[in-house]
Structure 1
Amino acid sequence: MSGTTRRGVLKTALVFACCGMSHARLALAQSRPGDPLPVKQIADGVFAFAGIPAMMNDQNDGEICNVGFIIGDEAVAVIDSGGSVVEGKALIGAIRARTDRPIRYLINTHMHPDHIFGNAAFDSTGAIIVGHRNLPRALESRGAYYLQSYRDAMGGDLMADIRIVPPTKLISDEEELDLGNRKLTLKAWKPAHTDNDLSVFDHKTDTFFTGDLCFIGHLPTMDGSLLGWIAQLDILNGIKAKSAVPGHGPIPSPWPQALEAERRYFDVLASDMRKAIADGVPMSDAVKSAAQRERANWKLFDEYNQRNATAAFAELEWE
């Protein structure tokens, strides 16, 4: 976290108290500006940082998603760059505190700002940015909007260095990357959370970086296809991982148990929307009552559930 986050003990305490953060995280937030991101080693050569369940703003430097890196004998691969250049630089600092091997790949799991706003921090590393084959188009379509729409919440200082940096290596199906006696399998998924979801599987430790195909605690957000996401849950469930790094949630998380809450929410949401459509309930009314029995199970429910319900209604209306 940056000096913006660490300026005042009281200010930080209030922010973290609202998010239910621990005293340990609060202490980290009060440390000196420029410190490396406080990553956790979750397996041999695999490190991750757990973002907070909150909206991106200048209080948290956009540090709301999980990011990580994997160290091979020859090189390093980074999974997502975070929600700001400040976070991206802190992530590089965490890598350099553990190895001087080159950062060969920066893998973007999808288009959302909390995962890609830190890309510009990696300009000087020479890292190849990797993404789903649909990611360049998505960033071209949404990039300018993202930069403008987050300016008020993030503030001009934090946004100043953020640029939309698209991938140069594209994944269309599955492809292996070798970090030196360490192979990663990257998989491009059909529309689910977005239409450009990419996952990363480390074969040495059977660790699965899911991107936002898996949410725990933080309400899943839909920018792709509810039916597509539901259809791919069984495929995700079949991946033989020992543990997972979800896009949002505890690190590491047991696999495939990490999918259970998400599957339940989708089933409830789809059931409620289908009933509303069958009963002739207008979308404007249906989205207000959809999945309300799931409210207590998720953070940011009020921020995202109606948006999810609106997308679900539009999709299920044409079944």
Structure 2
Amino acid sequence: MINRMKLNHLPDIKISVANVFNINLNAYVPAFSKPNELVPQTRLGFQFDRRTTLCILAGLVYNKRVLIVGKHGTGKSTHIEQVCNRLNWGCIRINMDSYLTRSQLIGKESLTFQHRGPVVKFEYGLLPWALRRPIVLVLDDYDVCKPEIKSIFNKLLETNGEINIPENGRVIKPNASFRILATSTTLYGSQIGTFRENSAHLDRWNMVINAPKLSSNQKLKLVKQIIGKTTCENISEKIVKLARILQRLQDKGKLSLSLSVRSLLSWAELTIILNSIGEAFKYAYLNKCKKSDKLLIHEKYTEVFGSPCWIRCS
């Protein structure tokens, strides 16, 4: 169905940055008037960070390569998706895990049988498919990808980049509205399962931005959108307060796992589903923690909520 759909290949309208992204800037950016199946779904109430949003917009408008670096669960990929959503710009995400192969990205030769007999045919991979379309390609978890696989993108990341396919001698140039962005938790391979960025490859990214942490007020707004009104007094405030306490402990090295924004929102959602703040906290965060950390976490939970991890909310 995706292969058959009709895509506008160039933006045909302009939208106000101030009105759409709530950023105090008198500027207009190109956008598509009609969405298609590749446009991400709208996430109502999403809070656009000014710096991150402007970098993403610069990447889309001026065809710059943008790499967003930040802690897991901070909404890096979601931020790109929501900018694309507001512009009706198609978006595809590829998880750059260590098992990704060249044949999956570029393609491979395969043997097919026709009426004249067996024929060797080249089957294109994900990258040539994406290059031919007016879409934003997001490379998720870029620091988990092996260096030899990243080298495939070297020429593509250059200005007016393209890819060469030695197997069939083809050179594939990108669509006029094709864009490429990436997300990463680190640049220096400092986490388990990640690889240090090669300086020559890193230099090909036009813009590298550190995704900011959400403030407590921003987190509170997100939690309130999910929790809504309950009979439990100040429940949203208490959830965010505990998250702030645990984050400080993690920053001091007293906890091994931070309560990310992703886990925080999961906690809020599970609170509604399970009708229990404590059970939701257990499944969204506590069960992920080391046994040695759980006593301290439970202690802080009790301080904030006034009871152990099993209170209900109705």
TM-score calculated relative to the size of structure 1? 0.27
Structure showing greater radius of gyration is: 2
User: Larger relative contact order (C-alpha < 8 A, sep ≥ 6)?
Assistant: 2
